[in-house]
């Protein structure tokens, strides 16, 4: 029975790293398709890694050389036979501590790293495992022993980027599987990866555009991790939250008691319980991915007979930069004396916020015209819109944890009408507190 099955065994000792930061694909290139110049350049770089092919009839391994596909044939590689790949580590005589090892696994490789870590325990436990959008197929609702879990290393972090389900299946796993589980943009999908972006991918990738679009969100986990290495001075902060809906309302920007963490390589390896902690953040569609998070709270104090659904725009002036016309939509409409909290993100560091310009931009042109006419020619108490009374805007900056309150620059005229813009500056009480801190 044993002799009836021939098995080729490929013994591999290697670490494969391929950066996609410069537009390279994460897929392996086919043998024989590379230029002679590329082969000469790469083979000139010496490596101590050895690739040995073992066959059943011999105990001596045949060495396969990188970028020389002819050595596969010379070693008698048979593609019709089952292939077993063995990745081994270090010898005990090297006196290398496993606690210094960091395994990084992408997709299915995340669970493979977990399996490797589960075989080592106690003083031989792996130091860190990072799962980059760990595979969801076949691993959904799997027990911790059958997938990557916090038990597999001293510290386990996971980045979830493509957990959107189709017919109950998802490419990336949605369930928390680590000490810290990061969900950029909610984890289900990523900006710049929607099928509406297909035309951009066609221009860049040609016939491979559809494939690139499908795997865009899945691979984003890799790009985010690489970005944390390339932009060490622009680390992305992630915040503990229940779900993306709560996060989008700006309700989760608290970093008290060290609850926040950094996405990517420089994640803080804080020892904690085995219970997973889910963290959320927003990112850009391209590198550098970092954005700056702000929670804004507004309350309209006048009586509103029926809910209105206006669209607003905000301009933020900081000590470094100014961001203009950031669209704000309150989907559920505005009612009386209710506080509305929402999240806005900026691509640039504007410094300390010193001024806010708040504009009512109604999306309906004819409604704008009609309301403008009512402002110019008052029709009495029966006006459709008497204006919205907005006294102050409360702001919290996620990255600095600074809280600020902004008051209307003109306290004698608090009503905001369609197409009108109001300016808000730091309230006097806030300014006094700021002066005390400076002293």
Average pLDDT over residues 278-297: 97
- Cα–Cα distance for residue pair 428/407, rounded to 1 Å: 8
The tally of domains found in the chain comes to: 2
pLDDT number for residue 59: 73
Q: Is 331 in the same domain as 259? A: no
Q: 191: how many CB neighbours lie within 10 A of its CB?
A: 16
Partner residues linked to 226 by β-bridges: none
- Compute the average pLDDT of residues 341-355: 95
* pLDDT tens profile 168-183: 778 999 999 999 999 9
Once rounded to an integer, what is the mean pLDDT over residues 229-241?
96
Q: What is the pLDDT of residue 370?
A: 43
Q: Are residues 210 and 305 in the same domain?
A: no
Residue 76 DSSP symbol: T
pLDDT 10s digits, 387-435: 788 889 999 999 999 999 999 998 888 888 888 899 999 997 545 544 4
Which pLDDT belongs to residue 23?
37
Q: CA torsion 162→163→165→171, rounded to 10°?
A: 60
Q: What is the CATH number of the domain that holds 355?
A: 2.60.60.20
Residues 252 and 391 placed together within one structural domain of the fold: no
Q: Tell me how far apart the alpha carbons of residues 200 and 217 are, in angstroms, rounded to a whole number.
A: 15
Do 228 and 357 belong together in one domain? no
**Residue ranges of the binding site for Ca(2+):** 147, 152
Identify the helix (H) or strand (E) that includes residue 277.
strand 277-281
Q: Assign 210 a pLDDT band (cuts: 50, 70, 90).
A: low
Short-list 154, 164, 99, 102, CA closest to 133: 164
Asked if residue 60 is part of any domain, the answer here is no
> CA 125, 258, 349, 346: dihedral to nearest 10 degrees?
90
Same domain? For 144 and 266 the reply is yes
Residue-range definition of the domain harbouring residue 267: 82-281
pLDDT for residue 16 is more than 70: no
Q: Are residues 275 and 127 in the same domain?
A: yes
Tell whether 432 is covered by a domain. Answer: no
> 98, 126 in Cβ contact below 8 A?
yes
| Cis peptide, bond prior to residue 438, ω within 30 of zero | no
CA distance 280 to 56: 51
The whole-number pLDDT of residue 299 equals 84
Residue 97 pLDDT grade (very low, low, confident, very high; cuts 50, 70, 90): confident
3-state secondary structure (DSSP) of residue 91:
coil
Confidence of residue 45 (pLDDT cuts 50, 70, 90): low
Asked if residue 319 and residue 213 are part of one domain, the reply reads no
What is the arithmetic mean of pLDDT over 322-341? 81
In the predicted model, what is the mean pLDDT of the chain? 79
Full-model pTM: 0.75
- Catalytic positions, please? 107, 133, 218
CA distance 284 to 191: 7
H runs (alpha helix) in 231-314: 244-248
Say which range, 45-49, 80-84, 88-92, 209-213, has the weakest mean pLDDT: 88-92
In contact, 124 and 96? CB cutoff 8 Å? no
Looking at the predicted structure, is the pLDDT value of residue 282 above 80? yes
Q: Based on the domain organization, do 154 and 220 belong to the same domain?
A: yes
Query: Is 227 in the same domain as 357?
Result: no
CA 416 – CA 357 distance, rounded (Å):
12
Q: Which of 281, 315, 346 is the last residue of a domain?
A: 281
Please tell me the predicted confidence (pLDDT) of residue 304.
61
Q: What is the pLDDT of residue 389?
A: 86
In the prediction, which pLDDT does 219 show?
A: 94
Q: What is the pLDDT of residue 332?
A: 67
- Same domain for 194 and 300, yes or no, is no
Residue 206 has pLDDT above 80, yes or no: no
DSSP assignment letter at 5? -
User: What is the mean pLDDT of the segment spanning 61-82?
Assistant: 87
Q: Are residues 357 and 396 in the same domain?
A: yes
Q: Judge if 217 and 305 occupy the same domain.
A: no
CATH, residue 155 = 3.40.50.1820
């Amino acid at each position: 029975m044993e002799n009836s099955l021939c098995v080729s065994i490929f013994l591999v000792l290697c670490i494969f790293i391929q950066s996609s930061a410069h537009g390279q694909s994460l897929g392996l290139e086919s043998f024989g398709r590379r230029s002679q110049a590329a082969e000469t350049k790469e083979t000139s770089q010496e490596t101590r890694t050895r690739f040995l092919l073992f066959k059943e009839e011999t105990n001596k391994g045949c060495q396969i050389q990188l970028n020389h596909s002819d050595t596969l044939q010379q070693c008698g590689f048979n593609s019709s036979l089952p292939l077993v790949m063995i990745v081994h580590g270090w010898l005990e005589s090297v006196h290398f501590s496993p606690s210094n090892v960091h395994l990084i696994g992408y997709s299915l490789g995340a669970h493979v790293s977990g399996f490797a870590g589960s075989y080592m325990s106690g003083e031989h436990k792996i130091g860190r495992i990072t799962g980059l959008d760990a595979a969801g197929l076949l691993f959904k609702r799997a027990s911790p022993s059958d997938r990557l879990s916090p038990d597999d290393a001293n510290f386990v972090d996971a980045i979830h980027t493509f957990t959107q389900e189709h017919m109950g299946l998802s490419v990336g796993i949605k369930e928390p599987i680590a000490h810290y589980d990061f969900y950029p943009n909610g984890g289900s999908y990523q900006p710049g990866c929607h099928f509406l972006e297909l035309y951009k991918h066609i221009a860049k990738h040609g016939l491979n555009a559809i494939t690139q679009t499908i795997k865009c969100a899945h691979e984003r986990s890799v790009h985010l991790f690489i970005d944390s290495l390339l932009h060490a001075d622009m680390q992305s902060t992630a915040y503990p939250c229940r779900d993306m809906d709560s996060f989008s309302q700006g309700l989760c920007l608290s970093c008290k008691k060290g609850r926040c963490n950094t996405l990517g390589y420089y994640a803080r390896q804080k020892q904690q319980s085995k219970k997973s902690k889910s963290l959320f953040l927003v990112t850009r569609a391209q590198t550098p991915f970092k954005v700056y998070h702000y929670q804004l709270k507004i309350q309209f104090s006048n009586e509103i007979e029926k809910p209105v659904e206006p669209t607003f725009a905000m301009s933020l002036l900081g000590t470094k930069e100014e961001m203009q016309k950031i669209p704000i939509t309150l989907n559920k409409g505005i009612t009386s004396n209710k506080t509305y909290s929402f999240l806005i993100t900026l691509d640039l560091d504007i410094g300390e916020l010193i001024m806010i310009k708040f504009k009512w931009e109604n999306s309906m042109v004819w409604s704008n015209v009609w309301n403008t006419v009512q402002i110019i020619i008052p029709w009495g108490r029966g006006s459709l819109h008497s204006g919205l009374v907005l006294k102050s805007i409360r702001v919290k900056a996620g990255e600095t944890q600074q809280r600020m309150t902004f008051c209307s620059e003109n306290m004698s005229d608090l009503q905001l009408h369609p197409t009108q813009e109001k300016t808000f500056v730091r309230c006097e009480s806030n300014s006094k507190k700021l002066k005390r801190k400076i002293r």
